[in-house]
Amino acid sequence: MELDTRPPPPEPTAHSEAVDTALAKSRGVERAATLLACVMVVVLTLLTLADVVGRNLFHKPLAGATEVTELILAAMTFLFYPRLAWRSLHISVDLFDWVRGPAMQRMHRTFAGLLGGAVFGALAWQIGLQAVQSAEYGDVTAQLAIPISWQTGFMAALCAVTACVYLATVVITPPAPGNHHPID
């Protein structure tokens, strides 16, 4: 019988418990957003199939299919931005690839987080202004009369979430890219 000589794990602090709770909740939100985007892909596929069948077999395309396709594609794109930001799956250029120390990696992550937060914060602001202006003018889509402000407001909100996620990566180390299941 051998004695375990390893030191005991550190006692959890209030900060680490709060961070762990926040990370657990964020994983649930991330899964929900990913599943919603997956459902949108299925809906988009069925919509396109119905439109093509209606167009080619019955000479009657599905009314508004193009508009709904555009709205779904925009929603899917913006739904994935927070996940890409959190998982560090965005495109980055490693100009100083030869310097691999932890300090340089931390600087790179900090710079990417601050830059991403600033860019998506500016996008959220500008798209939000467009959503307000669109609502004031009563802009709607051409065929189905769907208010455009709903879509632009959704896009602005997800840009704001993405900006917050980028800023969170400055203080919280996100999971390493490539070490996760697509829906985890």
- Dump pLDDT digits (tens) for 46-76: 999 999 999 999 999 888 999 999 999 999 9
Q: How far from 27 is each of 22, 100, 181, CA to CA, in Å?
A: 9, 29, 12
46 is a domain residue: yes
The one-character DSSP state at 92 is -
Q: How many domains does the chain have?
A: 1
7 is a domain residue: no
pTM score of the predicted model: 0.77
Looking at this protein, which amino acid is placed at residue 156? Answer: A
Beta partners for 140?
Answer: 147
What are 89-144's pLDDT values in tens digits?
877 666 666 667 778 778 888 888 999 999 999 999 999 999 999 999 999 999 99
131 is a domain residue: yes
179 is a domain residue: no
Inter-axis angle of helices 102-137 and 65-86, nearest 10: 150
37 is a domain residue: yes
- Count the helices and strands in the chain (H runs, E runs): 4, 0
Range of the domain at 142: 17-90+100-171
Beta partners for 147?
Answer: 140
65 is a domain residue: yes
182 is a domain residue: no
